[in-house]
């Protein structure tokens, strides 16, 4: 079982068949200048030797806490497992095939410490494929409003490249979030974080996000759930609405108006012809 050492920051790394990329990722963690951190690494029953590699590369480094599931529980549950097994003030998810610059954790924590109005601190987003030279992704940088409701609605409308999901954030913002295994789980999480505060992109630190040539060997729904369950956009709409009801504590009439705006935005974004669950499920079964 994972052991949270009571540090101010926990970084959760969900792993599934990442043996080829793990050495560089782990080296980027070991090179971090911030010391008050626990790295929670959870292997989702990999079949490519990832678990043995993790144990070997992390041996003797007390910053690392390791766990392996007895079966593949899906990426969403694995990510939730990492979050639920932490008690830190700040939290971050890190892709097991990605990299971060050496000062990213230290400067992220400093940013959050210095400005309580910031909900998440993110590295400048760069993408790379294989051994290619990393390239800046301007489409992954957002300039959201300073006003809460407007910022939230902007996130529902605009979030496409969600690299800033891999940011350091105040974990209390997600404490009462119900983790649902839906398409766009990261969208709902980011919108919730932006309800609580602003996003800050660090000038001098980088999040290196790995992209892959061609399709991944497992389709999206199977990767998220660990099975053949079909994930639909209808589920995302319902998830957004249910979470908005937790976030907004004001006048019921304004809440209904906000709900209507969210429905309209998502219907336009994803060209939903119907908000009936069965209609949407049949569509995605035929188009996944």
Distances (CA, A) of 279 to 184, 219, 234, 235: 19, 21, 9, 12
Is the pTM above the cut of 0.85? yes
* pLDDT mean for each 10 residues of the chain (288 residues): 82 97 98 97 97 96 96 92 95 98 98 98 97 97 97 97 97 92 91 98 97 66 54 86 96 96 92 56 44
**Structural contact between residues 22 and 57, judged by C-beta atoms closer than 8 angstroms:** yes
Q: What's the pLDDT at 190?
A: 98
Contact 126, 134 (CB under 8 A): yes
Q: Is 152 helix (H, G, I), strand (E, B) or coil?
A: helix
- Domains assigned to the chain: 9-211 (3.90.550.10), 232-287 (no CATH)
Q: Are strands 37-43 and 64-68 parallel, antiparallel or unpaired?
A: parallel
């Amino acid at each position: 079982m994972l052991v949270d050492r009571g540090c101010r920051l926990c970084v959760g790394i969900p792993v599934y068949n990442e043996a080829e990329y793990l050495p560089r990722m782990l080296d980027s963690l070991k090179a971090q200048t911030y010391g008050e951190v626990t790295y929670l690494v959870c292997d989702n029953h990999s079949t490519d030797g990832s678990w043995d590699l993790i144990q070997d590369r992390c041996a003797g480094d007390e910053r690392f806490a390791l766990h392996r599931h007895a079966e593949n529980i899906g990426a969403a549950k694995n990510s939730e497992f990492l979050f639920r097994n932490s008690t830190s003030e700040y939290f971050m998810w890190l892709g097991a095939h990605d990299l971060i610059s050496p000062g990213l954790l230290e400067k992220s924590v400093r940013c959050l410490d210095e400005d309580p109005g910031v909900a998440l601190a993110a590295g400048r987003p760069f993408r790379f494929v294989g051994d290619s030279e990393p390239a800046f992704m301007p489409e992954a940088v957002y300039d959201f409003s300073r006003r809460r409701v407007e910022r939230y609605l902007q996130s529902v409308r605009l979030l496409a490249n969600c690299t800033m999901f891999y940011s350091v954030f105040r974990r209390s913002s997600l404490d009462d979030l119900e983790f649902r295994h839906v398409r766009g789980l990261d969208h709902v999480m980011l919108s919730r974080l932006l309800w609580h505060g602003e996003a800050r992109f660090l000038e001098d630190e980088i999040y290196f996000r790995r992209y892959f040539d061609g399709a991944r060997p497992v389709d999206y729904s199977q990767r998220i759930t660990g099975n053949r369950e079909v994930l639909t956009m209808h589920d995302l709409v319902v998830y957004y609405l249910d979470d908005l009801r937790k976030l907004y504590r004001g006048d019921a009439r304004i809440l209904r108006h906000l709900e209507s705006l969210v429905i309209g935005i998502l219907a336009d974004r994803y060209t939903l012809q119907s908000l009936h669950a069965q209609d949407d499920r049949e569509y995605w079964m035929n188009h996944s």
